[in-house]
A and B are shown apart, each in its own frame.
Chain A
Amino acid sequence: MFSAEQGCWFIRKVICWRAAASIAWAVLLLPPSTAIFVILSKFSVLHPIQTISECFSMLTSATAIFSFILLCGVIIMVGFLNFEYYTVIPTIACSKIALFGQLLHPRQLVNSLVHCIMGMIVAWCSAVTIGFRYETLGHPCAQTDGYHQMCLNEYHLILLLGGAFVGFSHSLLGVIHNMNYVSFHTVQQYKYLRFKGCLPLVVKCSATQALYSVRNFIVVYYFLGYIPRTWICKTLNLHLGSSAHPLDSIAGLLDLSLLYHLWISATFLLFTWYITLLLFRIFLTEGYSFPVQSSFTEDADHCLPKVLTEKQPMILKFLALQDLALLSQHSPLRRCEVFSLSQPGGHPHNWNAISKECLSLLADLTQRLVAYHDTVATNGRAKSLSSGSERKTSSETSGTEDFMSPRPTALMKTPASVFTRSIAGGQQSPLTAPFTPDLDSPFMSPALRRLAAPVEQGSPWYGTVQSPHIMRRVPKLWSTSTDSQVNGSSPPSPASVPSDKQEPSKPSFLAQFLQNRREQVKNFLAKRVLIVYLFNKLPEASSQALFADSQAHIWALEGLSYLVQASFSEDQFGVVQTTLPSILSCMLVLQEAVDRHFKLPHASSKPVRSTSSMGDSTYKTLRFALRATLKTAIYRITTTFGDHLNAVQLSAEHRKRLQQFLEYKE
């Protein structure tokens, strides 16, 4: 992924430099944070002056400088990992099993391992810095016969293991909370001010997260601590000190100073990493101003209309769209360039390219929503029609269904239909975005899951690949059965059984038999609690996944609507007028699709806000932001143009809808 993106000029010239700058700043911020850590870790109330002098001598010693160099290396490594793993479109796991899949992905395993090692290195540095009883792994101890030998210093060991544990849990939580997701803020601020504003949050987050991690670590160490201890003793030929308490006992762990040092070093570790992450996010999402048009042909590739249309890398597209939204809002000069005509020829190339790209983005989202809604709605209807016969054949199925979704009238999906669709998704190109949310249905066979697995990794935004399934929206009632027949497999769902009976070509007896067997297996599996737990869909996850990349659509809507608004007074040649009907109809169609989507269960339920986490949860509310932006965008156009819109050519249905907006009744 990294090597593939290397080719792009933007990654080479901008993103790499931004990442490097953020890492440099993180390294520069390391001395003050280390100094604060040293003071806090050595502080004693009784001897404040002695503490300070100790700190000074500590900070200038050779070991401190060596460990500081190590810490710098760790920070650079963390920054590099951030750069390598960041994404602007979050990966949303729709069920527990998908989440496990993400956690066990080799890429993620490497990440966890590296974090583990780095955590241990930071812990070693902090152990050396704290000094005192934590300094070395072995210490000389006297045996009963007076013979001196090396004993294991368990305090040092527990600190090292603690660091490794915190690093590991940091990387796990990174997956669960989508910490590698970089979100763009609606409020533009200068980098320094944004950093200053976020600093208290980072301190709070790292302190609380360190507290939880240390708690978990202590529990783990209490039960499993003897394993690494004996292993270390064996390999390094150290002896267990017999004098002190072993630390995996309650008495040993109830050492307040030890707990404090564990916590403060975990906080230090998380703080430096979070700062690196925060700086990376701030630098990466800083607005980049692309030229609208260039007088030199070699720069033509770097101009906004050209850059917008590029599919890879995603960050380039996002920054270009952000720039479009900002320029349409704030800079009349650059808007003027958008509305300008090409010098020989007099074509509005800039506007055409920009509007075309934005419209295709919006149309893509509309198609995705419509396809999703169609499948869901189809299932609901097929279910309601065939419910009688289904109840006759398998009463258990309906029982589990009721367990899964308490409102059968607004059924999200029946297991059977999910099964069908997953076949379709698996056999088509792995990039059929709309089906990402549905892949992990509870009743999918493992083979099919393996077929469909690549979709989980692919971003849902390769959507310009248009599968026939997305395009089709006409056959509603019987689309499940037709799908399965188109795809050449036997109809596997009970929902399609009655429909098959009405069709002239009946499936063979063998197929029926196979399907019944499969049905029984599914029913059997559906009753197992663990399976249901693992495979059950998380509510609203499918909605979140559908709108995962909606930040791009929000910018496209803002950019288009502001440009159209500005065109009312600034567009000298009337270039916008030619596209106004298509813009309006595109927005209205999207509005309809979004409205329909929000009528689905779980789509309009608000997620719980979590403030004390470094993971950005903006993606959870993107669909609401999109809905609000869409309405505002249409209102912006209708308010600006007013009754002039009656002269725009639109279909009767759209005109009716637009009239609602003109009367402020939406």
Chain B
Amino acid sequence: MCSLALFPPPLPYGQTTVCESNNELLSGSSTEDQLKQDFSPPSLSFPRESLKLHSRTENSSKAAFLDHSETLWMRSAAAWRDGGLTGLLNEITNSHPEVPKWLSMSSGCILALLQWVSSFHGSLFPHLTLSSEDMIAEFSQVLNWSDCVVRAFAWHPHTDKFAVALLDDSIKIYNPKSATTPTLKHRLQRNVAVVQWKPLCASALAVGCQNCLLVWHVDPCSLSTRPSAGCAHVLSHPGHAPVTSIAWSPSGSLLVSASPMDTAMMVWDVAAESCVPLQRVGGGGVTFLSWSPDGSHVLASTPSALFRVWETRMWTCERWPCIKGRCQSGCWSPDGSRLLFTVQDEAVIYSLTFTNTPAAVPSGTSKGPHAAVVVADLSETTFSTPDGDIIVGGEIQSLAWDPRGERLAVLLKGDPRAADRSPIIAVFKTRVSPIFELLPCGFVQGEPGAEPRLMQFHPNFRHGALLTVCWSSGRITHVPFYFLSASIPRLGLSGSPTLPHVQERPADFANQSLFTEFIS
């Protein structure tokens, strides 16, 4: 098993990780110290002060207007429209003088009964009592989402453009090849939890937000900096909000979305705006989705100690109960045969393998493994550095695996109460075939005081892997890992990787005890 003790110690204070080359992580004292490279995506910064935040939420703006007395019928209708049955009952209960006493009494009783039932339901699934904003923060892959300037980030799967969702509910699209940066704003686009580009398409961007799911069509040739709201299609289903996770199928035909409030996972045919709810007993919601790169499986985790792995041919699922907590994050190997996942309150990474059954034989369930294997232990480890002891390790916020399956980035939560245990990104070297191997690579650190919040690998970086990290300061930086891919480049990643100026040495890790499948 690979543990943090094998890692090289974190960088001293003031140093930032620049890149990996020749099998080691290079550091520099400032961000200008970047290596010259033929592809350098823009490193952006969004200072918190530059964003124009909403001074108040939409609901509270009611107070700014004069009270207008409407008839009871009008108010009841409005309450029914806005708040449903509970709203209507509330309205009737609260307007004593206008309604007969028995009506207000009985509606009050029904309301109390409903609240009692829902509190009972809430005690079964505690997350249901959260407000939608808290719920997104709880289940998002972003560390400390509610306080984060960059709330979501997505690379386009085929080109070098990316979308950034900001704290002020706008989404900006950056393309190194074009001067315009379109800003997407929509009335319904509030509290963006996740964005993702549609594969095999140049323009479609799916956005999961508080009340619905939006699919933007951003014409790459358009010069407009503010695409109109007409470019967005709203996908909504009653009870399916807030959306905390979405995943496009790698073939670009389907989109799945998940909400912790809804026990069903929605499979959308986006163009036809139709959806198929996939529902199974247990779990009490769906929080995180991840579609395997080969398109055969979907990981769906729930708020309780249970996750499911769906196979996408006939949409049947396997149940995977966890022992301790819910599945927090997961990622698939490029060939879709291996799933790495982490569980809340545990500092280990588990692995599951899936053998692809020949699809000509329609089998009921995909033949999966019987138990997950622990492949890495990230429990707390103390490193002694010149600046003093640094404790690294603990719970895991999210996982990211580069598209070639050679680098695995792990975002460790740290402890917000302890000053010396800030969040940090640990990077592993991995190999998927012939046997699964996990070797330590190092820690990725940013400027002093900046904590990593969100990370994603570039989907087709030619010279290795490119990790994009969004920091708490509002910066977005890119850390390249230069290496020669051991496996054959995947389809679609045309061309062999030309080395920039870094030569690679063969790795000699023979003297360390590392994780391979044979050892565990």
Contact = CB atoms under 8 A, between A and B. Distances in A.
Bind each other: yes
Interface of A: 185-190, 193, 197, 329-334, 558, 562, 568-569, 606, 609, 618, 621-622, 624-625, 627-629, 631-632, 635-636, 639-640, 642-643, 664-666
Nearest to A201: B277
B460 to A, nearest CB: 10
B254 A643 contact: no
A568 B491 contact: yes
Counting chain B residues whose Cβ lies within 8 A of the other chain, the interface size class is 35 or more
B131 interface: no
Given A631-B201, A632-B201, A664-B202, A621 B271 contact: yes
Contacts of A628: 201, 270-271
Given A624-B272, A642-B492, A664-B158, A190 B201 contact: no
A639 B202 contact: no
A331 B358 contact: yes
Contacts of A329: 251
A560 B360 CA distance: 18
Contacts of A189: 276, 314-315
Contacts of A640: 491-492
Interface centre among A193, A334, A558, A629 (most CB of B within 10 A): A193
23 contacts: A186-B269, A187-B254, A187-B267, A187-B276, A187-B315, A193-B316, A197-B278, A331-B359, A332-B360, A562-B251, A568-B491, A621-B272, A621-B274, A624-B272, A627-B271, A628-B270, A629-B253, A629-B271, A632-B200, A640-B492, A643-B495, A666-B202, A666-B203
B497 interface: no
Contacts of B254: 186-187
A569 B491 contact: yes
Contacts of B200: 631-632, 635-636, 639
A631 B269 CA distance: 15
B47 to A, nearest CB: 31
Interface in B444-502: 491-492, 494-495
Nearest to B274: A618
Nearest to B200: A635
A330 B313 contact: yes
Interface in B273-325: 273-274, 276-279, 313-316
B28 interface: no
B122 interface: no
B254 to A, nearest CB: 7
A287 to B, nearest CB: 9
B271 A624 contact: yes
B66 interface: no
B277 A197 contact: yes
Contacts of B278: 197
Contacts of A332: 358-360
B359 A635 contact: no
B8 interface: no
A664 B251 contact: no
B510 interface: no
Given A187-B254, A569-B491, A629-B253, A333 B360 contact: yes
Given A624-B272, A625-B269, A665-B221, A632 B251 contact: yes
B34 interface: no
A17 B497 CA distance: 56
B250 to A, nearest CB: 11
A625 B253 CA distance: 9
Contacts of A664: 156, 158-159, 202, 220
B252 interface: yes
A428 to B, nearest CB: 33
A664 B492 CA distance: 13
Given A185-B276, A187-B276, A330-B359, 6 more contacts: A189-B315, A193-B316, A329-B251, A558-B253, A562-B251, A666-B203
Q: Which 3 A-B pairs have the closest CB atoms?
A: A642-B494, A628-B271, A330-B359
A628 B252 CA distance: 9
Given A187-B267, A664-B202, A618 B272 contact: yes
Contacts of B221: 665
A665 B220 contact: yes
A330 B233 CA distance: 30
Nearest to A330: B359
Contacts of A629: 253, 271
A177 to B, nearest CB: 15
A189 B276 CA distance: 10
Contacts of A627: 271
Contacts of B271: 621, 624-625, 627-629
A190 B358 contact: no
A434 B493 CA distance: 42
B360 A331 contact: yes
Interface in B239-275: 251-254, 267, 269-274
Nearest to A326: B313
Contacts of A568: 491
A355 to B, nearest CB: 20
Nearest to A336: B360
A624 B221 CA distance: 21
